[in-house]
Amino acid sequence: MVRSLEGKHPNYYEAKLQLRNPNQEIVNYVEKELSKVNMPVTKVEEVKNGFDYYIADNQFSNGLGKRLQSRFGGLLIVTSSLFSRKDGKEIYRTTILFRKTPFNKNDIVMYGGEEYKVVRMLKQIHLLGVKTKKKERIRFTDMNMIKVKED
């Protein structure tokens, strides 16, 4: 899986994709997307709760992060930091964090002491009250307030 960019330093990368709490389906999806376009990956590190992919292209990595959130639902945080300057141009490195939610679409969860069904996960988590039919929208940054209902 590790490929370097021709003409660049072997450890060259523009973006770090951090997958946290991924299931095998997510890992397979990322690997497939990277190989589909033959995207150079400098290294893949296994960390405590996921993987870090060092990828040679910022734009591709940003798009991949958005596709992950759209397809699997989860927290997506993109940050950039100035890495260097070359020929008067600023060069940035991007970190894309994708954290999978502990629940999936259509799961029954607890929020605020009530049962809700997870209806949709786009920019926010959309919940629908099982008994009350009350609609709630929760930011992914607040997903820890939603608990998976134990059977």
CB 85 within 8 A of CB 91: yes
Q: What is the pLDDT of residue 10?
A: 64
**Domain 15-100: which CATH number of 3.40.1440, 2.60.40, 1.20.1300, 3.30.70:** 3.30.70
pLDDT of residue 2: 45
Amino acid 151: pLDDT: 61
130 DSSP assignment: T
Query: Tokens representing 30?
Result: 């990322």
Length of the chain: 151
Distance (Å, rounded) from C-alpha 98 to C-alpha 72? 10
Q: In which residue ranges of the chain is CATH 3.30.70 found?
A: 15-100
**What is the pLDDT, as a whole number, of residue 132?**
94
Q: Dihedral sign for Cα 117, 118, 120, 126, please.
A: positive
Mean pLDDT, consecutive 10-residue stretches, the chain (151 aa), reads 52 90 94 92 92 92 92 88 78 90 90 93 90 93 87 61
How large is the C-alpha radius of gyration of the chain? 18
Predicted model pTM? 0.79
